[in-house]
Amino acid sequence: FEDGLNKPDRLRWRYRLRFGVEAKYFDWATVNLRLVSSDGDPVSGNTTLTDTFRKKPITIDVASVTIAPPWTDAIKVIGGKFDIPIWQPLVSSPMVYDYDLTPEGVAEQLQWRFGDKQQYRVFANAGQYSVKEFSNDSNDAYMFDQQIGLETKFGPDPKTPRLKVTAAGGYYLTSNLRNLKAGDSPNLGNALIGV
């Protein structure tokens, strides 16, 4: 029998293909483009081998421009469709975002290094994301994300620290998210089922 907890075992053959290009434009701009084998799921670049030999789609995963003054690493502005600009631990346990998610909009990153060996770093990240544009309505859905944090490096050389500790906190809010309907997102992991 089958219910929510007792589903039959399945064997799936999947693959993931990514192709990326990064180009510097003068000293202050970087253009990124990445294509991925995906059916458009916002949190997965995997493609399942199935569906009676149909052709498999390639989608745009990243298409962005990063502006950064060449004389400092203190500020960056990113626009387009980009990787998550908010700091997350590198372990495979995302606290807020899935690592495959690539939001669309604008993001800002600020940082300040200090200490006798530049071993401390205070940073702030912010993102303004377009979630859903409605062609017949001006109440588009947006998400706003803010984060501040502190990074400390321990050891004689901060470039190769023996230990690095990062602590960060953030806050996000949405605007007009109630206008989304079930089916607006192909993601089933955090779907709007029943909305």
- 29-37 and 75-81 as β-strands: parallel, antiparallel, unpaired? unpaired
Q: What percent of the chain has pLDDT over 90?
A: 50
Q: Tens digit of pLDDT for each residue in 144-168?
A: 999 999 999 999 888 899 999 999 9
What does pTM read for this prediction? 0.81
What is residue 192's predicted lDDT score, i.e. its pLDDT?
44
Q: Tens digit of pLDDT for each residue in 91-150?
A: 766 567 888 889 999 999 999 999 999 999 999 999 999 988 887 878 888 999 999 999
